[in-house]
Structure 1
Amino acid sequence: MAALGREAGEDLRAAGVGPVRAGEAPKDIKVPTYTHGQSSPSLGDAKLRKPLVIEIIEKKFEYLSKEKTLNIYGTVTFGTTAGISGILANFIFRHCFKVKFDTLKTYASLTTLPFLSTIVSYKLLVTDALYSGKISQENCVLRSSLIGIVCGILYPTALAFSKNGRLAVKYHTVPLPPKGRVLLYWLLLCQTEIKAMMLPLILQTAFGIFLGLQHYAMFESTLEKTVHED
């Protein structure tokens, strides 16, 4: 046993490892130390990463604010043109039916209802669907143009026709139509003046196509920039 101990001690000394005494640390074991004020690599990376994250978030907010401004401005303008179409339709049918009563009431409803219906329809059918990624560029343009035709022309025209026709019957401003032929009689009465609605029809359709294309392009540009920076 003593021989084995001496041989082990000689092997350790040959390998360069001395005996470890009480209270001493082994000389070959290196303990990493950090001086005061020296930060670890992970903390330094976090400090460098933080400004980049803040910059990306700020740019995202900037892109979203620009898109939101375009969305609000375009939708309000779209609704305003629908309200103007309602005013024109009300003027035409009041002239056809020779109605001179409830002027403020009819003009207020013919301006407000097409305006609100256009804004709500555009938000539900175009804006929300675009943000969810469920429609293509062709569908976006098609929906926008159909909203311009339906909410900006057909709805205010039918509303003005109905309201002023009832006032004509109530105040007897035009001869009463025969029973069962009310709609045909009134259409024949207004067939010349109603052709003036072709101009707002063309304008609403063109503006709907333009707004759909612009809104989709802005959405795609914002999405590409956001993904590229991420």
Structure 2
Amino acid sequence: IPWRTWDESGLVSNSLYRRALNIKQAGVTSSVPMAVMPFLTTYALYNAVVTNPLLNGDLNCPSCALIRGALVGVVGAGLYPILLALPVNIAIASRYNTAPLPEKGNVLRYYVELSRPILRKMRAVLVLQALFGTYLSSRNFESYTTLAKITFDSGREELKD
């Protein structure tokens, strides 16, 4: 199932943040949202941006479908889980005091510095998510064009008879 790959980037980013913040506790507490939330969000986003416009006839351009699929892959299945893992793990780190947390004035700088190496490690995952999104949207567009041909060609045959 290609959708299955879209929830694994959340688990990978969660693991990277847990290592960076030296968190050993609450493994299930942080892993369940990282597996479920990105999957559901990406599924809903893909349906709203690619599948429903195709079925409604609002998306007839194959390049547009591919780009939309790639964007859903990068944003919904790549960046969203990475950004979602940050506050979850920061909250766990502050609860269990596993890493020194910043003062109030340096919070944003701390988050950026903490996320920079993780985003570098996740580049390959983001590219992979873009490829999966592009592949899914290409398959979806092919199915849509086949369905449209069957539907509209059968109507022409009835008019001829």
Q: Same fold (TM over 0.5)?
A: yes
Indicate which of 78, 91, 97 corresponds to 1:172: 97
Indicate which of 41, 48, 68 corresponds to 1:124: 48
Q: Does the aligned pair in 1 maintain the 2:78–2:125 contact within 8 Å? A: yes
The share of aligned pairs that are identical, in percent, is 29
Q: Does the aligned pair in 1 maintain the 2:13–2:118 contact within 8 Å? A: no
The runs of 4+ residues in structure 1 deviating greater than 3 Å are none
Measured after TM superposition, the shift of residue 190 of structure 1 is 4.5
**Matching of residue 207 in structure 1 with residue 132 in structure 2:** yes
Q: Which amino acid aligns with 2:148?
A: L
Structure-to-structure mapping, 1:133-172, within 5 angstroms? 133-135=57-59, 136-172=61-97
> Structure 1 CA distance, aligned partners of 2:91 and 2:109?
15
- Runs of at least 5 residues in structure 2 that lack an aligned partner in the other structure: 156-161
TM-score by length of 1: 0.63
**Matching of residue 106 in structure 1 with residue 30 in structure 2:** yes
Measured after TM superposition, the shift of residue 178 of structure 1 is 2.3
Indicate which of 167, 182, 196 corresponds to 2:107: 182
Q: Which amino acid aligns with 2:27?
A: T
Q: Which residue of 2 aligns with 1:92?
A: 16
Structure-to-structure mapping, 1:58-77, within 5 angstroms? 77=2
Gap change, CA 1:128 and 1:190, over 3 Å in 2: closer
Measured after TM superposition, the shift of residue 215 of structure 1 is 1.1
CA deviation profile, 1:56-81 (whole Å, cap 9, x unmatched):
xxxxxxxxxxxxxxxxx5xxx23x22
Measured after TM superposition, the shift of residue 203 of structure 1 is 0.4
- Runs of at least 5 residues in structure 1 that lack an aligned partner in the other structure: 1-72
CA deviation profile, 1:112-152 (whole Å, cap 9, x unmatched):
00111111111122111111111122221122111111111
Higher relative contact order (CA 8 A, sep 6+): 2
> Structure 1 CA distance, aligned partners of 2:127 and 2:40?
21
Judging by fraction of residues, say which structure has more helix: 2
> Structure 2 CA distance, aligned partners of 1:159 and 1:181?
20
Measured after TM superposition, the shift of residue 225 of structure 1 is 2.6
Measured after TM superposition, the shift of residue 96 of structure 1 is 0.3
CA deviation profile, 1:177-200 (whole Å, cap 9, x unmatched):
122211212332343343211111
Measured after TM superposition, the shift of residue 93 of structure 1 is 0.1
Q: RMSD value over aligned CA atoms?
A: 1.5
Q: Which residue of 1 aligns with 2:159?
A: none
**Matching of residue 192 in structure 1 with residue 117 in structure 2:** yes
Q: Which amino acid aligns with 1:141?
A: L
